[in-house]
Amino acid sequence: MEEYKIKVELLSETIFGSGHAIPGSVDLEVVYDEYGFPFMKAKTFKGNLRKEVEDIVTVFKENYGKKKYEKYLDTLFGHADEGVDAWKTLHFSDCTLDNQVRQFLIHHSKENNIQPIEILHSLTETRSFTRIHKDTGSAEKGSLRQVRVIRRGLQYEVDVTCARALEPIELSLLAMGVASLRHIGTMRTRGKGEVKCSLWKKENNVFQDQTRSYINSLMEEVKQSE
């Protein structure tokens, strides 16, 4: 079993939007678990990452004439009709708060009877937004919205596993996609969800940052095959 970890640093306030409003509280709530920790669902994170890798493959194809990388999209992320071959692709966990911090907070919340809503409030803020009228430049009447945002500076992570050994090119494409993932969540066009991501591989029971080495390997491969 190949084990990797994607580390995600929140460089700005971020919204893992649930699409739900809480009457009397916020008009857009974040997704959070039974302990009150905000998180991004695995399927959503995987979709964002796949889009980055797709863009990279397109650049290689259009700018360098390299079509061979297209097949790796399916070997890494799968496709609708993969059936029994699903075990060959990457499997993602939810994007959650750094596990050490998470376990520390869970332990102390149980000892001190801290409620999930208290943990949620400690990790988030509430922001007000209005929609601006395109002609007058003033706030539209009735457009005020309260949105919960996750505090900047928090460290998140995604566990990634694969039942087979990945090819060097697959790892390199994955690393480049991870490094290119710079915005996630809701309201990305309004300054939310800026992140810095890195790919870590487990070797000798220790995770090590392999992002740059994999990216350098891919660029060397592209140059040599020109």
Structural domain range at position 91: 2-224
Task: Please count the structural domains in the chain.
Answer: 1
31-41 residue pLDDT tens: 999 999 999 99
At which residue do the structure tokens 């490094």 appear? 179
Q: Pairing between strand 155-162 and 195-203?
A: unpaired
| Cβ proximity of 94 and 5 under 8 Å | no
50-95 residue pLDDT tens: 999 999 999 887 766 677 888 899 999 988 666 556 778 999 999 9
| Cβ proximity of 39 and 33 under 8 Å | yes
| Cβ proximity of 36 and 117 under 8 Å | yes
Question: pTM of the full predicted structure?
Answer: 0.88
**Pairwise CA distance, residues 30 & 8, whole Å:** 17
